Structure 1
Amino acid sequence: MKKTSKDYIFVVIQFLLFGAYTFDFFQPLEIPHYLATFGMVIAFIGFMIALLTVFELKSNLTVFPTPTEKATLLTHGFFRYSRHPIYSGILMAAIGYALYKYSIYKLLIAGLLFIWFYLKSTYEEKQLAQKFNSYKEYQEKVGRFFPKLLL
């Protein structure tokens, strides 16, 4: 599938948000030590999910929301639980590290990343549904960022 200007816009803004996350313009808040520890655990788990998913994707990996020409639909590994496990891992890492650093600013950027990943994944899923006939069925079974809870 051919990349459009939307692909580039999604990626550029995503990386601008990553860049903004590296700074902090506010004083850290005072929070309990156990919350900082919890944040670091969440950040580590998120980082590992994102990293391991990169290896799962192999030749399917691209920063752009439009799938590559040779892309295959993955429904195993982390993709059994999340349609976008790299985004999930990045969000967990960003929120967890923000808690560890006691940073409202980093939490704000993580919130913006969540919104941006939601918009980007919505566009990406339209592309995937065009490429793969079984994508709609997969969408119904698997949560966007986190596992669907069966109640």
Structure 2
Amino acid sequence: MLKKTFRDYAYVAIQFFLFLVYLYPLVPVGLSLPDTARYVGLGLAGVSLLICGAALLQLNSNLSPFPTPLARGTLITEGVYSVSRHPIYAGILGFCVGYAVYTSSGYRLIITGFLVVLFYFKSSYEEGLLQQRYPAYAEYHNRVGRFLPNLF
């Protein structure tokens, strides 16, 4: 059984900190975007929320904010997990980009960039743990993209 480490708590703490500073901009950095771009951003945010919702429903009792897999957990590779190894992270990032564009907020785009970096390292750590826990994870890792289908 894998136990949570300092890294688990650090990743989650940084994530929630970034969520807070995303929600409450400290420095206004505006963008000048046409209305069309803003509404495309809103559409991206909506689709991304649907992806997150589907992934959350699929995880069900496997859900945890921590990268370390739950002792009672199972490996899920179907549904949205068949096109993204980390669809919740992908959905959060898509929502953050979309909402930043919709609100014409350069500040929020910058924070989203920090979230991309955080989710990359958090997911790398998580994947190492998943490979230890589930022998089938290596094949899944090679077949499915990290955030986007076969792209990243």
Taking structure 2 as the reference length, the TM-score comes to 0.96
Question: Does residue 96 of the first structure (1) align with residue 108 of the second (2)?
Answer: no
Q: Distance in 1 between matches of 2:24 and 2:101?
A: 15
Is contact 2:85-2:141 (8 Å) kept?
yes
1:61-102 CA-to-partner distances (Å, cap 9, x unmatched) read 000000000111101010000000000000000000000011
Give unpaired runs (5+ residues) of structure 1. none
Please give the root-mean-square deviation of Cα atoms over the aligned residues, in Å.
0.9
Q: Distance in 2 between matches of 1:48 and 1:56?
A: 12
Q: 2:126 aligns with which of 99, 124, 127?
A: 124
Q: Distance in 1 between matches of 2:111 and 2:55?
A: 23
Aligned match of 1:43 = 45
Aligned match of 2:65 = 63
Aligned match of 1:133 = 135
Cα deviation for residue 120 of structure 1 reads: 0.2
Indicate how the Cα distance of structure 1 residues 32 and 114 shifts in structure 2: closer, same or farther if over 3 A, else same: same
Indicate how the Cα distance of structure 1 residues 120 and 30 shifts in structure 2: closer, same or farther if over 3 A, else same: same
Q: Distance in 2 between matches of 1:95 and 1:148?
A: 20
Aligned match of 1:54 = 56
Cα deviation for residue 28 of structure 1 reads: 2.3
Taking structure 1 as the reference length, the TM-score comes to 0.96
Give every structure 1 segment of 4 or more consecutive aligned residues whose post-TM-superposition deviation is greater than 2 Å: none
Aligned match of 1:29 = 31
Q: Could you tell me which amino acid in structure 2 is paired with residue 120 of structure 1?
A: K
Q: Distance in 2 between matches of 1:114 and 1:51?
A: 19
Cα deviation for residue 27 of structure 1 reads: 4.5
